[in-house]
Amino acid sequence: MKNNRRDFIKLAGMAGLSITGASIIPAYAGTEDKGRNFPGHDFEKNHIQKFNMSGYAAPKLDTVRIAFIGTGNRGTGAVVRMSKIGGVEIKAIADLRPEKANAAKKRIAASGQNPMIYSGNTEEWKKVCEREDIDLIYIATPWELHTPMAVYAMNHGKHVCVEVPAATSVEECWQLVETSERTRKHCMMLENCCYDFFELLTLNMARQGFFGEIVHAEGAYIHDLLEGDFSKEKYYNQWRLKMDASRKGNLYPTHGLGPVCQVMNINRGDKMDYLVSVSSNDFMMGEHAKELAATDDFYKQFVGKPFNGNMNTTTIRTNKGKTIMVQHDVTSPRPYSRIHLVSGTKGTALKYPLPARISTSHEGWLSEEQFKVLEEKYTPPIIRKVGELAKQVGGHGGMDFLMDWRTIDCLRNGLPLDQNVYDAALWSSIFPLSEWSVNNRSNSVDVPDFTAGAWKKNEPVDLSMAKGGNTQVKI
């Protein structure tokens, strides 16, 4: 691969020329290579930060004019939630399937919003990005489209909110960073788990020093999706099943990783150094494909595919000598878990199995009464202000709405977003990096510093709500 930065930037700019534009740049994740650096790291060696997007406050927008691309499993819910936030105008909805786009529009008819529908072919989404009367593009499409769409939108002067993961290769991660810095447009990954109530509580507790020095953290995405993955209806064109049949490692790291990265000030005082990753064999997806194919020829295309293993465990070491363990299992018949373990020199928190618990010694967990005292003391301002309203609106118990409300409130008040492009790139990069490690006998691999050294001075996520907070909610 050439190391010339100008060549890379040209290629990144070309990513929007087709719906799969990111494939112009070859993906090296998963290829055999000796040593800790696979070719995607060439970008880091040559990256000079053009503008630090951490702590960046874009000019405020009294009204945030939004367009949505993708109204499948996640997009329609986002359209409905945004219709309940003051200072928002929904200008457009784009989906390849007209029935999905129109159904989303119908859901918000009572709100007075009247978005234009874009549908019918694979290029319609570009017209949305090219409109001059839109400020924010909200992307909820299959994973392989996230980066091409986000890059195209930023290149056309739009802020971007993009579903998880924001990228599926290290090269795509660099495309997002390069484009956001050059255009000075926000690129926020929609990691809604950062806004779950206990995760926000433990983040505020960490900010106040309750846990002491954070030494270790754990996160996960353990969610039985076996039947859904093989469904003909749930995921358009079986995109998620095809991903599971072609990629290895931790394919979906960010739900467990995002909240603990914020607790540990990753990209804001510390950085990931390297990781090692190990996967089990697949003991379920291949067998399920055979069972289905026995009575339905449609599934014969998946028989014999090298499905991702049942369980992946990835361990990350930080520059300051701390550790993070993150797991991925979407097939085993286990109760849902994101783990969310925070372990410090003075205390520990653990969310799964429910109920969430806190401890300050080896003697056991605090009582329910003691927990409630801590909860009352450390509940952050955003939950005090919007928490009950968020529960009424819904979206994974309200955390989706907290995320959307906070994002809009920051844009309307010209405040930095809680998550920036460096977080989107870093958290997403664990997918391809873990794949490389798995395919190389769990050898360690360096984690790129997408901040180009700015992590040493970047400020932690601000939970104070000292500014803003004036965005209304319409129930």
CATH code for position 336: 3.30.360.10
With CA atoms as reference, report the closest residue to 439 among 29, 109, 18, 126.
Answer: 29
Question: Can you tell me the distance from the alpha carbon of 422 to that of 13, in angstroms, rounded to the nearest whole number?
Answer: 19
72 in any annotated domain: no
3-state secondary structure of 221: strand
Whether residue 168 is contained in a domain is answered as no
Flag whether 379 is in a domain. yes
At residue 48, the pLDDT reads 87
Residues 6+ apart with CB under 8 A from 202: 211, 259, 263, 340, 342, 349
Query: Two tokens at 211?
Result: 């846990």
Domain membership of residue 245 (yes or no) is yes
Asked if residue 112 belongs to a domain, the reply is: no
Per-residue pLDDT of the chain (475 residues; tens, 9 = 90+): 334 433 333 333 333 333 333 332 333 333 444 334 555 566 776 788 989 999 999 999 999 999 999 999 899 999 999 999 999 999 999 999 999 999 999 999 999 999 999 998 899 999 999 999 999 999 999 999 999 999 999 999 999 999 999 999 999 999 999 999 999 999 999 999 999 999 999 999 999 999 999 999 999 999 999 999 999 999 999 999 999 999 999 999 999 999 999 999 999 999 999 999 999 999 999 999 999 999 999 999 999 999 999 999 999 999 999 999 999 999 999 999 999 999 999 999 999 999 999 999 999 999 999 999 999 999 999 999 999 999 999 999 999 999 999 999 999 999 999 999 999 999 999 999 999 999 999 999 999 999 999 999 999 999 999 999 999 999 8
Range of the domain at 233: 194-456
Whether the full predicted model's pTM is greater than 0.75, yes or no, is yes
By the 8 A CB rule, do 162 and 188 touch? Answer: yes
Supply 167's token pair.
């990228």
* 224 inside domain: yes
Number of domains present in the structure of the chain: 1
In 178-261 the beta strands, taken as DSSP E runs, fall at: 187-189, 214-222
Rg (CA), the chain: 21
191 within 8 A of 255, measured Cβ to Cβ: yes
Whether 298 is covered by a domain: the verdict is yes
Q: Looking at the domain assignment, is residue 65 inside a domain?
A: no
**Which residue type is seen at 444?**
S
97 bridge partner residues: none
State whether the Cα torsion 283-289-290-292 is positive or negative. Answer: positive
